[in-house]
Structure 1
Amino acid sequence: MSSSTAMHRELQRELETKATDLSKLQKDIAKNHQVRKKYTIQLGENELVLKELDLLNEDANVYKLIGPVLVKQDLAEANANVRKRIDYMSAELKRLDATLQDLEEKQNSKKEAILKLQQRIQSLQAGKAKA
């Protein structure tokens, strides 16, 4: 009977460890969603800026806000900078998507492991009740 109790305690500890791991994964997933949201918003803003820049004539004046000062900038340079930012943000979103997929797969496997452990604990308890 005592070996059954020790086994039950061990399973409980293992369950707590897996639950803690699952909680950490869920926090990482939430953080990923926050960062992804930020990049998505910035990407949309930069795409709007690019559309506006494309509407301008080549001799139009373009200014960039640097700190509290507006600095005149060449249209081609501004266009190139915005495109670089869009490329960077798109690459980051792809990376975040891949990370998210990996985290979700890990989360699902942890949930399955927890479910199996809970079933083992329940069957152990049911075995004790019969004895």
Structure 2
Amino acid sequence: MEEHAQAARGEALPQHLLAEALDHFLEGSSLKKGAIKGYRFNARIIVRLLGHHSLHEINRRVLANFVATRKRTGVADVTIRRDLAVLSSVFTMAICWGWADTSPVTAFSKKTLKLGRPRTRFLARDELTLPPVCPRS
């Protein structure tokens, strides 16, 4: 409430670090355990590279540097896309919390990052249901 009152008075809003936003996101998230585990893995890398930035400092240039750093270390494009998806989720929540105005991830072009190969999934026996056999007339 105080932050909204400060904004209404034209005072500067407190600056939240990306690391703080990631922690807040992961602690308050209603995601499944497996998804949280994946997000935590990506969050460690993101915090190491971008955690010292406030949410308002992160823009397309910062994201481009992040992608270039990840590519230089040999990380696959699919993993970088996953990192950006985590960042996008965090910024979406940060907007809801009033910590950020917009998400720089939505303005960042991902055209240079290749998509992963589609997965081939095979059905288990219990998932396979055959159509009923019709008696011959």
Question: How does the TM-score come out when normalised to structure 1?
Answer: 0.29
Q: Work out which structure has the larger RCO, using CA pairs closer than 8 Å and 6 or more positions apart in sequence.
A: 1
Q: Whose helix proportion is higher, 1 or 2?
A: 1
Bigger-Rg structure (1/2)? 1
Q: Whose strand proportion is higher, 1 or 2?
A: 1
Question: How does the TM-score come out when normalised to structure 2?
Answer: 0.28
